[in-house]
Chains A and B, each alone.
Chain A
Amino acid sequence: MANVLPSQAEGRALVDGNRFKMLDAAAGAALRHLPATLAILGCILLWQLVVWGFSVPTFMAPGPLDVIKAFGENAGVLWANFWPTLMEAVLGFVFGNVVAVLLAVWFVHSPLAERAFYPIAVIIKSIPIIALAPILVLLVGNGIAPKIIIAGLICFFPTLVNMVQGLKSVSPAMLDLMRILSASNSEIFWKVRLPSSLPFLFAALKIAATSSVMGAIVAEWIGSSYGLGALIIEATYNFRSPLLYATVVIAASLAVVLFFAVSFAESKIVRWKPTTDH
């Protein structure tokens, strides 16, 4: 037993080593992002100076300090409106992408289905989302449903296109090989088509992560009483510009967080590089 487990001292050394490694990584990341961080801070500083220097009225363009103050004063309101938007964006993301992936799988297995329904998907895609919102409100009421549908619709098309392309990206030689091995269609799907579509799928999911937030917010503009979108409208009409800016910052941060969540999942799942067979 004793020679299997590392001794206490070794264990501590291990933990210390890990801690150093983490510190190292954090320092490395900070250094790498230093230029971007400095540039952003510079822009914020410039913005504050312009607001001060030209005495811009707060309702027209609040300075960063006003916005930070608005965060503190309206923390409760922002928090309460953040959750519904997050829910709508995430549910829309899930539904839109699941439907798109299933459709893509169907299209790849049935050329007839692809020829019949791809054009419909293109037509739906060409309707401006903002024009679709009132129609959906009339159809399914003013609850959470139209928001999820719009967030989902916005995700749907890029994922469908990418997934179809990804599932078809398998080289003809690979398919020949599977045929020589007498592989069944489902074996070809699970062992070859699906894994090779993953890089394409994640490229689409990263787009979808940010656009689902946009979809949810746009949907909330049409007669909604909650959510970041509704808060944006309300703050605008009441000339509460610092609150408006704070809401926009929250919405952008939400999109960024979702984007990084998808990127993280990608880095865990797609750990291979495509080989360039010459």
Chain B
Amino acid sequence: MLETLSRSKQASVGAASGSAVSVTNLHIRFGANDSSFTALSDVSVEIPAGSLVTMLGPSGCGKSTLLRTVADLVHISDGSVSVHGQTPRKAREGRDFAFVFQEATLLPWRNVIDNVRLPLLVGKREAGATYADPEELIALVGLKGREKAMPHELSGGQRQRVAIARALVTRPRILLMDEPFGALDEITRDKLNEELLRLWQETGTTILFVTHSIPEAVFLGQHVLMLAAHPGRVKEFMTVDLPYPRSLAMRDTVEFIRVTAHLRTLLGEC
């Protein structure tokens, strides 16, 4: 089943030492010059290829802005962002990354499989690029048998699974996720977190994951990137020393509690 995603796997193995995203002295300002608002100020960070980096920070500190800048949705005011050595725009056109939003953003008139196929129907498709099989991806996210279901017949968690399958269909090397499970109940969220970890380990995709929840950030993250607000800047980039595969029980270990406590203190200072 996972041969469908092998492109990302090979890529990550080949470039394991390099960085998937490198941000250098990035400044993002919104609005006209006289009334401009600085959302990000002098942000520099390296996201290693194949890593899972979670992003924390107080509301409004620019987490979404950073993610959207990588995804070529925000104009760079100053500094540079490189995605596998390319500009965000080139990376977008090359289908190097995919984005998962807080809302599933499914087209309500398309059934599950047609929603997953959407990326294959629009935009410039690379000549000779081979994409993942939508049916296998639907099975991968645990929705086998629901291919023909309409979005309104699914629960919030199931819709988010469809959104993840849709993001994976172009075999992106980077997955950008902005609070993807933020609107879900805790049990569903735990389950999806475990499945995301499994997916990451099996495919080797680089994942950049924004969340508001410290336990979620620590449970998932190989590294945690903490941003501070006013203006948005890097507070800390730390490595979480907990072995994979991780299970939910790990959240009761001393190390887990130590890391979350540390992050909570840091967040309080932001």
Mark A residues whose CB is within 8 Å of B: 171, 173-174, 176-184, 187, 191-192, 195-196, 270-275, 277-278
Bound-state Cα–Cα, A192 to B183, Å: 24
User: Residue B18 at the A interface, CB < 8 A?
Assistant: no
Contact A195 B109 (CB under 8 A): yes
**Among candidates A177, A184, A191, residue contacting B105 with C-beta atoms closer than 8 Å:** A177
Min distance, Cβ B126 to any Cβ of chain A, angstroms: 11
Give the 3 A-B CB pairs with smallest separation, nearest first. A182-B123, A277-B103, A183-B122
Contact A180 B71 (CB under 8 A): yes
When C-beta atoms are compared, the residue in chain B nearest to A191 turns out to be B122
Contact B99 A195 (CB under 8 A): no
Bound-state Cα–Cα, A96 to B184, Å: 45
Contact B156 A278 (CB under 8 A): yes
Contact A179 B107 (CB under 8 A): no
User: Residue B101 at the A interface, CB < 8 A?
Assistant: yes
Min distance, Cβ A201 to any Cβ of chain B, angstroms: 14
Bound-state Cα–Cα, A173 to B98, Å: 13
Contact A179 B73 (CB under 8 A): yes
Residues of A within 8 A of B68 (CB): 176
When C-beta atoms are compared, the residue in chain B nearest to A192 turns out to be B107
When C-beta atoms are compared, the residue in chain B nearest to A174 turns out to be B105
Bound-state Cα–Cα, A173 to B99, Å: 10
**Among candidates B98, B118, B124, residue contacting A182 with C-beta atoms closer than 8 Å:** B124
Residues of B within 8 A of A174 (CB): 105, 107
Bound-state Cα–Cα, A116 to B181, Å: 43
When C-beta atoms are compared, the residue in chain B nearest to A276 turns out to be B152
Contact B105 A173 (CB under 8 A): yes
Residues of A within 8 A of B63 (CB): none
Contact B108 A180 (CB under 8 A): no
User: Residue B106 at the A interface, CB < 8 A?
Assistant: yes
Assuming A187-B122, A272-B108, A275-B108, is B103 touching A182 (CB within 8 A)? no
Contact B105 A180 (CB under 8 A): no
Given contacts A181-B118, A275-B106, 7 further A-B contacts (CB under 8 A): A173-B101, A176-B101, A180-B98, A182-B95, A184-B123, A187-B121, A275-B108
When C-beta atoms are compared, the residue in chain A nearest to B166 turns out to be A177
Min distance, Cβ B24 to any Cβ of chain A, angstroms: 22
Min distance, Cβ B140 to any Cβ of chain A, angstroms: 20
Mark B residues whose CB is within 8 Å of A: 68, 71-73, 92-93, 95, 97-99, 101-109, 118-119, 121-124, 150-152, 156, 159, 183
Residues of B within 8 A of A192 (CB): 107
Interface centre among A176, A179, A277, by most chain B C-beta atoms within 10 angstroms, is A277
Residues of B within 8 A of A196 (CB): 108
Contact A180 B92 (CB under 8 A): yes
Contact B72 A180 (CB under 8 A): yes
Contact B183 A182 (CB under 8 A): no
Min distance, Cβ B68 to any Cβ of chain A, angstroms: 8
Residues of B within 8 A of A182 (CB): 92-93, 95, 122-124
Residues of A within 8 A of B98 (CB): 180
Bound-state Cα–Cα, A271 to B92, Å: 33
Contact B122 A173 (CB under 8 A): no
Residues of B within 8 A of A171 (CB): 103, 105
Contact B123 A187 (CB under 8 A): yes
Min distance, Cβ A99 to any Cβ of chain B, angstroms: 26
Residues of B within 8 A of A271 (CB): 109
Contact B123 A273 (CB under 8 A): no
Bound-state Cα–Cα, A184 to B102, Å: 24
Interface centre among A176, A178, A275, by most chain B C-beta atoms within 10 angstroms, is A275
Bound-state Cα–Cα, A191 to B73, Å: 20
Bound-state Cα–Cα, A176 to B101, Å: 9
Bound-state Cα–Cα, A187 to B122, Å: 7
Contact B122 A275 (CB under 8 A): no
When C-beta atoms are compared, the residue in chain A nearest to B156 turns out to be A278
Min distance, Cβ A95 to any Cβ of chain B, angstroms: 28
Could you pull out 8 A-B pairs where Cβ atoms are within 8 angstroms? A173-B105, A181-B119, A182-B122, A191-B107, A196-B108, A272-B108, A272-B150, A274-B152
Bound-state Cα–Cα, A196 to B110, Å: 11
When C-beta atoms are compared, the residue in chain A nearest to B94 turns out to be A182
Contact B101 A177 (CB under 8 A): yes
When C-beta atoms are compared, the residue in chain B nearest to A269 turns out to be B109
**Among candidates B99, B106, B122, B156, residue contacting A176 with C-beta atoms closer than 8 Å:** B99
Contact B152 A178 (CB under 8 A): no
When C-beta atoms are compared, the residue in chain A nearest to B98 turns out to be A180
